[in-house]
Each structure stands twice: as C-alpha cells, then as structure tokens.
Amino acid sequence: MRDLVEIGMGRTARRTYELDDIDIVPSRRTRSSKEVSTSWQLDAYRFDIPVLAHPTDALVSPSFAIELGKRGGLGVINGEGLWGRHADVEAKLAELVALAESDVDVEAPIKRLQELHAAPLQPGLLAAAVAQVRDAGVTTAVRVSPQNARALTPQLLEAGIDLLVVHGTIISAEHVAHGDSEPLNLKTFISELDVPVVAGGVSDHRTALHLMRTGAAGVIVGYGSTEGATTTGEVLGIGLPMATAIADAAAARRDYLDETGGRYVHVIADGDITSSGDLAKAIACGADAAVLGAPLAVAAEAPGGGWYWPSAAAHPSVPRGTMLPVSFGERPSLDRVLTGPSDDPFGSLNFVGGLRRSMAKSGYSDLKEFQKVGLTVRA
C-alpha cells in the first residue's frame, strides 16, 4: 500500500526512499565470496559484472568501452556525442578540462561543450568508433535519444552495433515529436530491429511497464543523477528516489512476466550509486545491473582527465549538468575501481568486490537471488 502524505488541502504526495534511506539485512547462512556469481545476461549477451558505463564523452571513449568490456562490463558510447562529431576528441576534451580547471568563468566549460555538440554528426566518425569496439571482440552498445533514434539507428546498424540504447532523462513508450514529425512509437520501432534495445529512463511502475510492453530487452530506471554533476532537479524540478523507483520497476517486471507468461525484462539502475554499498542496495531493490558514471570516471583509463559530466550537460538550450572534478592526484586503474585492491574505507574502489561480499554475507550466490534479501528503512 502506498504511503501518501498530505502536503496541503486536497494535495497529497507519495513518500519515497533513496538508496541512503535503506539497509540490507542478512538473514541466511553466510558463504564465501568466491562462491558468488555477479554475472547477468541481456538477450544473447552475457556480462561478468553488472556494470554499465554512462554514455558521456567524459567517460566512454571507444578505448574505454573496450577496457570495460574486457573486464566483463558494458561501455555505452554516446551516439550523439563528440565521438561522432569531431576527429580530434582527445584535444577537445583537454580543452574542456582546461576551461574547468581555470575556474575563471564557471559557465565557460558548458558553453564550450554546447558549441562542440553543435557540430554536425559525421556518420564515418561514429562508424569508426563502433568498428574499433567491435573489432576488439567486446559487446558494442551505442546510445541515441528518442528524438534522433529513427534517423541515427540505420547507420548504427550498418556499423555493426550489438545493442541499441534509447536513452533520455525521462522517456515514454511513445515520444511526441516537434512540428509535423511522426511520433516515435517504441513498440513499432523496436519490432523492426534485429538488435536488442535498452530504453530509459523511467521513474515509476506505470512507465516501466509500458516500456517493457514495447519489446525492450532492458529498462533503465533513473537519469544518472549524481550529486554535484547533474542539475535536473534545479532545472526541471524532477527528482527520482532511486530505492523506490527501482523497486517499482522490479514490480513492473514481475507483472510483465506474468502478463507474457515468462518474458523477463532486465531492470538497470542509473543514478545515485557512488559506492559499492549503493551498488549492492540497488541490486537488492530489484535491479539486474547498474549504470555508473562518476565512480568510473576516476579511472586512469577514462578520457575525461579526472572530470565528469553527464550527457545531459550538453543540451543546447536546457543543460542539466556541470563539470565535476572526481579525482585528484594519481588516478586509480579501472581494475582497482572495479575489482580492487582498495585502500578506501568508503567503497569508492573495488565495486564488484564489495557487491560480492555483501551477497556472500547475506547468503546469496547470484544476482537474481540477492534481489530477495531483506531490507529495512532507517527511521
């Protein structure tokens, strides 16, 4: 039963919970973390760890996608980002970092980011980025917005992508386009493709269920909210309590599973995951995997040079993010971020190791079983 709170005469709001509001409660016999599996499968593609990288130029270059893929995760290239617009992306990123580090004009980095994103997309550049990842033998995934999905997808399919990610701050099963353009009906769109589609973000049970009915292989919950980097709350007034949102989407998955007689759609959490404990709690709430942004951007392999910004920061008229410094001094390797060893007592390194140990302490051997672990809400 939903917990409704009266916020004024005739107006109620639902009480919801963040990941920080809940705790995992072990209640079974413990097991060795070596007996725990963190693998999961999305359509025909199997991954050793439940980690995707947020599709921002600050994080996912073709080389980073390859490195994450070799370690069992999935790097998602932003199909509308700099890798498809400029041949010298490394130089452009260095320019952005220099502007951010100068601290003379706090708005200058975002202005420059918008200018760089205003350059036309060049199909050859994007195809080359896709080919680089594909030729390395790892799963190739590219993100497009609902507004541009119909126009960009054919060239991505020709380039050889394995997975398509239709991703926006908040999306629905049908996107109403501007002017005389035909609305994007995701169900029709997905049915015409030969590759699996992951779609999101969503914020509630109803929207998640509608997206599952489109034929999506996975549904993203959240919009990548990151304290200090995303400003969607300030700009749009939209907030997303991740613990509740994930649990709602997991309930939609159960309903859809019953509705279809067995079709399982993966729930992917995207937002407010800054530590290995947060990752464990996201899985415990019902997620099959999680999108990480700033936590991965600290890695030496990330192209942002110790800085992070979400893909929404480049919006031409309503930017919803800023450049955030995430690493100072020597940056850890991606191996240390994912699997350790860690010397940080707060969970910013060894994400997968922390998740494995949480599962082991709770007595669960795989991710789907761990979704049944007991939870409590802090008073």
Q: What per-residue confidence (pLDDT) applies to 297?
A: 98
pLDDT digits (tens, 9 = 90+) for 178-191: 555 677 889 999 99
Establish whether the linkage from the previous residue to 286 is cis, with ω within 30° of 0.
Answer: no
pLDDT digits (tens, 9 = 90+) for 263-273: 999 999 999 99
Whether residue 176 is predicted with pLDDT greater than 70 in this model: the reply is no
Q: What per-residue confidence (pLDDT) applies to 175?
A: 59
Q: What per-residue confidence (pLDDT) applies to 178?
A: 56
Q: Are the beta carbons of 57 and 83 closer than 8 angstroms?
A: yes
pLDDT digits (tens, 9 = 90+) for 23-77: 999 988 899 999 999 999 999 999 999 999 999 999 999 999 999 999 999 999 9
Evaluate the CA torsion angle 197, 141, 322, 328 in order and state its sign: positive
Q: Which residue has the higher pLDDT, 231 or 212?
A: 212
Structural domains in the chain, sorted by start: 4-20+41-346 (3.20.20.70)
